[in-house]
Amino acid sequence: DDIRLVAMATNVKISGAKNILEYAQLVEYQIGNKYKEAEPAFNLEYIVGGIGSTFRRKALLLVKGYDLDSVTEDISLSMKMIRAFGNKKAHISYAEDVYCYTPPAHNFKDLKKQRFRWKYGRFKALVKYKDLFFSTNFKKYSFVLTWWKLPKIIFFEEFMMLIDPFMLVFMGYLLVFYLDLKTLLGVVVTYFLVSIIARLSDQQYDLKKSIKIVLSAPLTIFLLYIINCADYYSLIKSIVKHKDILTNSNPSSKWDHIKR
Contact 95, 11 (CB under 8 A): yes
C-alpha distances out from residue 206 to 38, 203, 230, Å = 26, 10, 32
Helix (H, G, I), strand (E, B) or coil at 55: strand
The predicted pLDDT at position 8 comes to 93
pLDDT beyond 90 at 249? no
pLDDT beyond 80 at 129? yes
List, for residues 33-45, the tens digit of each pLDDT value: 888 888 888 888 8
Give the Cα separation of 6 and 54 in Å (integer).
9
- The region of weakest confidence among 22-36, 57-71, 221-235, 243-257 is 243-257
Contacts of 11 (CB under 8 A, 6+ apart): 33, 36, 94, 95, 96, 97, 98, 99, 100
Q: What is the mean pLDDT of residues 220-239?
A: 94
The predicted pLDDT at position 128 comes to 96
The predicted pLDDT at position 255 comes to 77
The predicted pLDDT at position 203 comes to 66
Burial pattern 180-210, b for ≥16 Cβ within 10 A else e, equals eeeeeeeebeebbebbbebbbebeeeeeeee
pLDDT beyond 90 at 142? yes
Write down the domain spans for the chain: 5-247
pTM score above 0.85: yes
1 falls in which pLDDT band (50, 70, 90)? low
The H or E element spanning position 57 is helix 57-62
Average pLDDT along the chain:
89
- The region of weakest confidence among 84-93, 133-142, 236-245, 250-259 is 250-259
